[in-house]
Structure 1
Amino acid sequence: MTIAAYPKHESYTDCGIDWIGEVPSTWSIEPGRQCLYESKEKNIGMKESTVLSLSYGRVIVKDEDKLTGLVPESFETYQVVQPGDIIIRGTDLQNDMTSLRTGLARDTGIITSAYINLRPKADIDPKFLHYLLHSYDVKKVFYALGSGLRQNLSYEDFKYLRLPIPTPQEQRAIAAFLDGKCATIDEAVRIKEEQIRLLAERRQILIQQAVTRGLSADAPMKDSGIDWIGQIPAHWEMKRLKDVSRSVKTGRTPPSSSAMDYFEGGTIPWYTPGDVQDGGVFDASEKRLSPSAISHGHVDMFPENCIFFIGIGGTLGKANISRVPASCNQQFNVIEPNKDIVPDWLLVWLNVSRDVVFNQTDYTTMPIMNQAKTKRIPLPVPSLGEQEEILRTLRDRGAKINAAIALKESQITALREYKTSLINAAVTGKIKVL
């Protein structure tokens, strides 16, 4: 049901709040202090032990196993939260314009005193107020509160915040209406997210089977000699990465010097792990080198269709191919394929086997895959013609799956936008639910 199809109130009046415009004539505009107050009850004597947190617009119970990092010596400094309280994260406004800053508490517990705890007054329905402040949050109203270069919000900012308020009966009706509609929308989103997960899993299985078993289900098979690879077509060969590479080198970073800035006026892509794309092909590099970095011998230039394989850190094993000559930093091992392998075959194999490669890496603090270990990575190698045939098939089938995923993602975006619009329409009286 479109928002335009919902019934409207009999008459409206300008509320004086620019982004809201008109509200029903029966509603009033109240300052925040008439609707809510700040609760600052400290957890003296550890009366409560359930630790809460504000996450993605929801007040959640923190897992005790995850109470690490900046944990206070005593939770007595935390503030007590009751169901129906509205938690506001009012810090770091100038640096974070995307996070949701409000959430409705549904559990009794404690939360850091860095947050503002707003408690609705007796004639204000907590859920209605939550939806209303959520709408203010989404509209980024909070960022205009205060004066000057304000970095934080305080209760003082909410005392004078003008709010459209219907009767208590209508507040409850709006809250119940939105609870039902939002639950339906959230379930639809959950189903589509699960469908996306299954499509992505299907795509991964398709790739895994194609690069280890080929396209013919009737092909004679043989043991690959590698437990995690299993059987491969009998006419394929098992090789090590060094057997299909002209070279495996590690990237470099040019020296910093006041006399020479090797990135000034740069034209040569210089990749870092932050440039790596999920699709396997570099799009662009954030930084570009000047030719002098190459001519002075500070970095290497790698030819087109080299594979850039992350050799350190949490994204170890993730690989991208560069369609143009490029350079990179020392976090990559760069593989130049030889004539016995199609570069994209090697790319697909490295990304398929990434989890296994990562788990087999020995490390204490940070996983590292050096050149020697990279050269020993095993891979099945069919003929060049069969490599090309399999890659074509994967591109065709993958494109269909990717299109299905893109459709689901666009549907999720539309559902979330509709949910936001519906909440805003209900709490500002643009639609009538009672």
Structure 2
Amino acid sequence: MQGAVARRRSLTKTDFLNLKIPFPPLDDQIRIAHLLGKVEGLIAQRKQHLQQLDDLIKSIFLGMFGDPVRNEKGWDKPELKAFGKISTGNTPPRNEPANYDDDFIEWIKTDNITGDAVFVTPSTEHLSEVGARKARTVTAGALLVACIAGSVESIGRAALTNRMVSFNQQINAIQPGRDVSPLYLYGLLKLSRAYIQSHAAKGMKKILTKGDFEKITMIKPPFELQNQFAVVVEKVEALKSRYQQSLTDLEALYGALSQQAFKGELDLSRVTLPATSIEGEKTVAAAVPAPITTPVIELPDTDLLLPALQDRTQLAPLLRFWLEAYRTQLGSAAFSLERFIAAAQARLAELHPDNDFALGASDYEQIKTWVFEALSTGSLVQAINVSHYDENTGEAVSGNMIELKANQS
């Protein structure tokens, strides 16, 4: 960089072109791109799965309770203060160091309410026991809502507590009453965020005071229904937790592989690559792996569902209807029994969360029968999977597995 003033320093084109950087052979560049591309594909899959689970919770809420603002199902719609005790956080005096000289209790700020996590994230700042006596605290199960922010988009972010915490004055808390499920309250405010934002002051600093906040009206269905929703959310969140950990591990793996690859610490010769012929040169591997084409399975609602839930002998028509819907969505992807079963089970839970319905061995037989019929009619075809591509010829090398695919002709 050149220039006397830091903010006006620049890098000239000549200096830029003269920079020395590690430049591995072309084959190694391709291998690195291929390897990292594989991990990037897995990361993209995990993110897609997490988004699908968020969408599932939203769909279940709307199916059970309807739109919380329009209230087309006619639920009671009291003010928020009817849902529990509402309080605003505060900041113990900063000029008294004793308030902050220990980690007795977490002091939560709006940064700890991410908007996509059910629970507040761990705080980096804590209060001492002395500071905690001057602070506002809530126990596990309270909902913390961002009510003071620089932009209206940040108003209404909400997260639950799973531990006792203190919190600052930018946050209003609802400690739910005995007739309110914390997870229902979380889902309610998450789907009502724009509605909440409409109550904020429109000045330079967007503020939703405690007085205005507690007067917002919200739907309040029976406690039993709230609990049914909460049971489903707990199951979905357990699955999300596993996917999130997998995503974290994959991102760490990507970072480690990147560092090792560009430092020359990986044995890249062990990376098997598909090959393509480049005119006038030897055969080299394709730099970018094929994109993941696994479709998201969308199983439509149908009048066949309710009879199947009431009488298991009526399940076969429903499964056949959903299997045909899945087949039309396959594209070039292979048919997967496991993915279909998971999608069907999730759809059953979404449409009828109060019905503890599980697919069993007899249902697998129904699916197997449909598969054989689809093969006989040609709507499904058998194909040998591709294990890898020969580096010298660029030709696909067959694996040792049979895949079922939709007939594209």
Superposition TM-score, scaled by structure 1 size: 0.51
Structure 2 residue corresponding to 1:389, chosen from 202, 205, 228: 228
Alpha carbons 1:252, 1:300 under 8 Å: kept = yes
1:176 aligns to 2:23 (yes or no): no
How many Å separate the matches in 2 of 1:222 and 1:401? Answer: 24
C-alpha distance 398-359 of structure 1, shift in aligned 2 (>3 A): same
Alpha carbons 2:32, 2:268 under 8 Å: kept = no
Structure 2 residue corresponding to 1:329, chosen from 127, 144, 168: 168
State the 1:371 CA deviation: 1.3
State the 1:344 CA deviation: 2.6
Alpha carbons 2:144, 2:158 under 8 Å: kept = yes
Counterpart residue identity of residue 119, structure 1: N
How many Å separate the matches in 1 of 2:268 and 2:79? Answer: 66
How many Å separate the matches in 2 of 1:271 and 1:197? Answer: 27
C-alpha distance 324-418 of structure 1, shift in aligned 2 (>3 A): closer
Q: CA-to-partner distance for each residue in 1:225-270, whole Å, 9 max, x for gaps?
A: x34xx644x6x43333222123x22111122445x72233452443
C-alpha distance 261-385 of structure 1, shift in aligned 2 (>3 A): same
Alpha carbons 2:91, 2:135 under 8 Å: kept = yes
* Aligned equivalent of 2:55: 205
C-alpha distance 223-349 of structure 1, shift in aligned 2 (>3 A): closer
How many Å separate the matches in 2 of 1:416 and 1:370? Answer: 43
How many Å separate the matches in 2 of 1:275 and 1:231? Answer: 34
Structure 2 residue corresponding to 1:81, chosen from 13, 17, 33: 13
Counterpart residue identity of residue 147, structure 2: G
State the 1:333 CA deviation: 0.9
Alpha carbons 1:425, 1:431 under 8 Å: kept = no
Q: CA-to-partner distance for each residue in 1:386-431, whole Å, 9 max, x for gaps?
A: 21221111221332244245435434443443343233227x9997
- Of the structure 1 ranges 394-403 and 354-363, higher mean CA displacement relative to structure 2 is found in 354-363
Counterpart residue identity of residue 273, structure 1: T
* Aligned equivalent of 1:119: 18
Structure 2 residue corresponding to 1:289, chosen from 122, 127, 130: 127
* Aligned equivalent of 2:142: 306
SS at match of 1:320: strand
Residue ranges of structure 1 left out of the alignment (5+ in a row): 1-37, 43-69, 86-116, 121-128, 133-170, 215-220
| Equivalence map 1:231-380=2 (5 Å) | 231-232=72-73, 236-246=75-85, 248-257=86-95, 261-265=98-102, 267-276=104-113, 279-282=117-120, 284-293=122-131, 298-313=134-149, 315-354=154-193, 357-358=196-197, 361-380=200-219
How many Å separate the matches in 1 of 2:103 and 2:255? Answer: 41
C-alpha distance 419-294 of structure 1, shift in aligned 2 (>3 A): closer
* Aligned equivalent of 2:372: none
Alpha carbons 1:268, 1:288 under 8 Å: kept = yes
Query: Which of the pair is proportionally richer in strand?
Result: 1
C-alpha distance 200-365 of structure 1, shift in aligned 2 (>3 A): farther
How many Å separate the matches in 2 of 1:317 and 1:415? Answer: 34
1:400 aligns to 2:215 (yes or no): no
Superposition TM-score, scaled by structure 2 size: 0.53
SS at match of 1:191: helix
Counterpart residue identity of residue 240, structure 1: E
How many Å separate the matches in 2 of 1:189 and 1:429? Answer: 17
How many Å separate the matches in 2 of 1:291 and 1:406? Answer: 33
C-alpha distance 334-364 of structure 1, shift in aligned 2 (>3 A): same
Alpha carbons 2:102, 2:129 under 8 Å: kept = no
C-alpha distance 269-194 of structure 1, shift in aligned 2 (>3 A): closer
